[in-house]
Amino acid sequence: MRYYLSRLDLRYTLNKGKTYNDLKESYIIFLCSFKPKVDDLFYSSYHNYCDQDRSKQLHDGATKIIINSQKSAAGQSEDLQALAKLMNNEPVSLNKHFDYAQKRIKEINEDPEMREKIMLYETRMLEREQDAYKQGKIDTAKVILENQMDNGSTLEQATEFVRNLKIISDNDLSKIVDLYK
């Protein structure tokens, strides 16, 4: 979510010559149609808050919303109930927006070239997410290594400590350790 929020701010809300005070409210909406965890809700929204006192919220103008069509939409608005049906590939006849969405979905599904573009896009997005996840693990291992050395461990001791955590491969760890030699 953080990635998409940063892209949104960079591309649409923080234009050249503007300051951070000019940032517009942002909404990141994830439409999920996979099997949820037991405690997932159909609709949930998230905002930043203070870890020590959750009643204190950081009003940064960013709202993150997750809609999970595999949970019951009972009690939700008619639009959200229709969205859940659309996400689950069920017919919807609510208004022109849903009619248009269903028409476009059908057109895309029937066009092999368009389906291939979507599949390639999804594959690239997954690869980016996996690369970011791996880089995050490498960055975490580097911070732990540095903290160990800051607390008096030798490079060898710090390396062994990180290796035992099994956060990253030995090959990636060796690359980090080489930076400190």
Distance CA 82, CA 94 (A): 7
3-state secondary structure of 30: strand
**160: confidence class by pLDDT, cuts 50, 70, 90:** very high
Strand order in the sheet with 62-68: 26-32, 62-68, 43-46
CB atoms within 10 A of CB 75: 9
Q: Could you tell me the pTM of the whole model?
A: 0.58
**123: confidence class by pLDDT, cuts 50, 70, 90:** confident
Q: What is the CA radius of gyration of the chain?
A: 23
- pLDDT tens for each residue of 55-112: 888 888 889 998 999 889 999 999 999 999 999 989 998 899 999 999 998 998 899 8
Q: What is the DSSP code string of 44-58?
A: EEE--B-SS-TT-B-
pLDDT of residue 118: 83
- pLDDT tens for each residue of 5-33: 887 877 777 777 878 777 788 889 988 88
Percent of the chain with pLDDT over 70: 98
pLDDT of residue 38: 61
